Structure 1
Amino acid sequence: MSKFSVLIANYNNGHFFEKCYQSLIAQTETDWEAVIVDDGSMDNSLEIIKKIIGDDQRVKINLNDQNRGIGYTKRKLIALAESEICGFLDPDDALTRHALEFVLKTHSENPEAGLVYSNFVRCDEYLNPLSVHKAKQITALDQSYYNFNAEISHFVTFKKKIYEKTSGIDPFLKIAEDKDWYMKMCEIAPVKYIDEDLYLYRIHDSGISTTKNSEKALFWHWVALIKMAERRNISVEDLFLQSYVPKNKYEHALNQLNHVKNSRWAKLGNKLGVFKIFKNL
């Protein structure tokens, strides 16, 4: 059994895969397997990927019978993984040379940690570095744990035995499935942040959660948050207000509205039929 399973969900990204694969074969830790599941690509991704990997027995390719979505595909990847330590790598991204070495060492030193994660490097469409996004050590189920600002970031790796204590990746989620299972992992075990830049994150127009798809990503993030609120029996309304409306402004606006509704002029206007929507305020 390999020390590490690299899990790759592909959909129409075969044309980016060469640099992804090159980053794997360049790893200082060589004891790994790569599991690829193609989610019904409509292009020639499979042909490209097979040509790139050649006869490398460390890479295994599986196919979905049709396009199933990212949640379904990543859940399947975990089921297919043979190693105890796993991590997702998108086919349009890449790892730095010491990524697997660093995360395996950290998992070994922190046996209680369910997730181990690092910083990522934002890159242009050609994988040229632009800037570094710093992750954050999560110590409590607080605002940071909701992951609005990518406090848990690539390269995210996990112990399969701890992941299996959760309900797993939700196959229903089309985007932001990672936000969902990151929260689930934080709820059952400590997580460990490595302050290293281990992941090269390519930004391009067809990215699942970047540029033109950012609003969709935010919507599905909120779907994940609603599911979390149900698990923990907390108010998702309060969560929304805390995240999008400063509490003091919300309370001030509410007080002002109540003041208007209770004023003698508003009550007189209501009696005279001036404020037709008064009763709905």
Structure 2
Amino acid sequence: MKFSVLIAHYNNADYFKDCYESLQQQTYTDWEAIIVDDCSNQAEKEAVRSIIEGDSRFIFFENESNQGVGYTKRKCIELANGEICGFVDPDDAIFPTAIEKSITTFQNKKNVVLTYSRFLACDENLTPLYPFKSAKQILNNDPYFFNFPVQIAHFVAFRREAYLRTEGIDPSLTSAVDQDLYLKILDLGSAYFINENLYKYRLHPNGVSQAKSKGKAKDSFAKVIFNTLKRRNITSINKKTVPENFQSPQEIFNLLDYQTKRIYRLKIKILTFFQSE
């Protein structure tokens, strides 16, 4: 079972060496790495090419013009050959057993279409700072799950076959791209939480997701949730009517406000505990 590591790159060559080395250290060896460069400057592209030179497992593609992260991540999946895929940002890294743990889960649990793990937030040198504590096993087959608040995060892997049965990542998105991916794939099967740190998330001033305005990211996430409501034919939620058209992010998040309440979270925790794997 081949694993496709998907890397959407844009001017991140300074940190890519750590990402590359973490892939070299993987205990599972049947993998490829698809790098799609979103029109980085020439020096950045040459630096990445220099690092991967001579390793046939790395395949480097270039967008003809800058298209944005949604288009680029969608292109990564289109070019992948593996049965299982997972995104790794070029400025991050994964633990040596990350791919092996994911592959083993997919081999043993045929109903699982997506796996995810814990991750460590790290400083600019990838020195661990603190763990992401919100990751937990979600309640599967729940049409009202929208990853709000966030529980599914890095390291995420998914069955490519399942993804190809969706409409795919929205190429127009400039943020909340991963949320769009997760919610579409979960329409088709179950998720499994690997309760280990498998991903190192680097915090640094030039990080794309970190530099984007919070307001813009919130707006994109709300649109992803709104589109998911429509795709799932949900017209009301918690006795509130879903609007016909998207008007504001706050209107969408107000619909889901009950999911942040303690009593609801306790209910979901109990149901998740008793669900079969």
* TM-score normalized with structure 2 length: 0.83
Equivalent residue, structure 2, for 1:62: 61
Whether contact under 8 Å (1:204, 1:211) holds in the other structure is no
How far apart, in 2, do the equivalents of 1:193 and 1:246 lie?
A: 20
Deviations 1:172-212 (A, max 9, x none): 11111111121111122111111010000011222232255
Amino acid at match of 2:2: K
Secondary structure, counterpart of 1:9 in structure 2 = strand
How far apart, in 1, do the equivalents of 2:39 and 2:212 lie?
A: 22
Deviations 1:70-104 (A, max 9, x none): 11111111111011111000000000011111111
How far apart, in 1, do the equivalents of 2:215 and 2:36 lie?
A: 26
Alignment length (residue pairs): 246
Deviations 1:148-176 (A, max 9, x none): 33211111101111111111111111111
Whether contact under 8 Å (2:5, 2:33) holds in the other structure is yes
* 1:184–1:132 CA distance, 2 compared to 1 (3 A): same
How far apart, in 2, do the equivalents of 1:171 and 1:117 lie?
A: 23
Question: Where do 4+ consecutive residues of structure 1 move more than 6 Å?
Answer: 245-248
Structure 1 residues 170-185: aligned runs within 5 Å: 170-185=170-185
* 1:142–1:121 CA distance, 2 compared to 1 (3 A): farther
Deviations 1:3-30 (A, max 9, x none): 2110000011111100000000011112
Secondary structure, counterpart of 1:210 in structure 2 = helix
Structure 1 residues 80-119: aligned runs within 5 Å: 80-119=79-118
Equivalent residue, structure 1, for 2:189: 189
Whether contact under 8 Å (1:27, 1:98) holds in the other structure is yes
Deviations 1:97-116 (A, max 9, x none): 11111111011111111101
How far did 1:132 drift? 0.9
Which protein is bigger by CA-based radius of gyration? Answer: 1
Equivalent residue, structure 2, for 1:136: 136
How far apart, in 2, do the equivalents of 1:147 and 1:246 lie?
A: 10
How far apart, in 1, do the equivalents of 2:204 and 2:260 lie?
A: 36
How far did 1:245 drift? 8.4
Unpaired runs of 5+ in structure 2? Answer: 235-240, 244-250, 262-277
Equivalent residue, structure 1, for 2:254: 241
Equivalent residue, structure 2, for 1:203: 203
Whether contact under 8 Å (1:5, 1:82) holds in the other structure is yes
How far did 1:236 drift? 4.2
RMSD: 2.1
Amino acid at match of 2:225: L
1:49 matched to 2:48? The reply is yes
How far apart, in 1, do the equivalents of 2:130 and 2:149 lie?
A: 15
Whether contact under 8 Å (2:222, 2:252) holds in the other structure is no
How far apart, in 2, do the equivalents of 1:247 and 1:117 lie?
A: 21
How far did 1:244 drift? 5.0
* 1:212–1:67 CA distance, 2 compared to 1 (3 A): closer
How far did 1:142 drift? 6.0
Unpaired runs of 5+ in structure 1? Answer: 249-281
Amino acid at match of 1:110: K
Secondary structure, counterpart of 1:209 in structure 2 = helix
Question: Sequence identity, in percent?
Answer: 44
Whether contact under 8 Å (2:149, 2:260) holds in the other structure is no
Return the structure number with greater helix share.
Answer: 1
How far did 1:31 drift? 1.6
Whether contact under 8 Å (2:226, 2:252) holds in the other structure is no
How far apart, in 2, do the equivalents of 1:229 and 1:11 lie?
A: 32
* 1:247–1:192 CA distance, 2 compared to 1 (3 A): closer
User: Which moves more between the two structures, 231-240 or 221-230?
Assistant: 231-240
How far apart, in 2, do the equivalents of 1:230 and 1:58 lie?
A: 40
Amino acid at match of 2:253: F
Equivalent residue, structure 2, for 1:151: 151
How far did 1:239 drift? 4.5
* 1:212–1:158 CA distance, 2 compared to 1 (3 A): closer
Equivalent residue, structure 2, for 1:230: 230
Secondary structure, counterpart of 1:229 in structure 2 = helix
Secondary structure, counterpart of 1:180 in structure 2 = helix
How far did 1:60 drift? 0.5
How far did 1:246 drift? 9.8
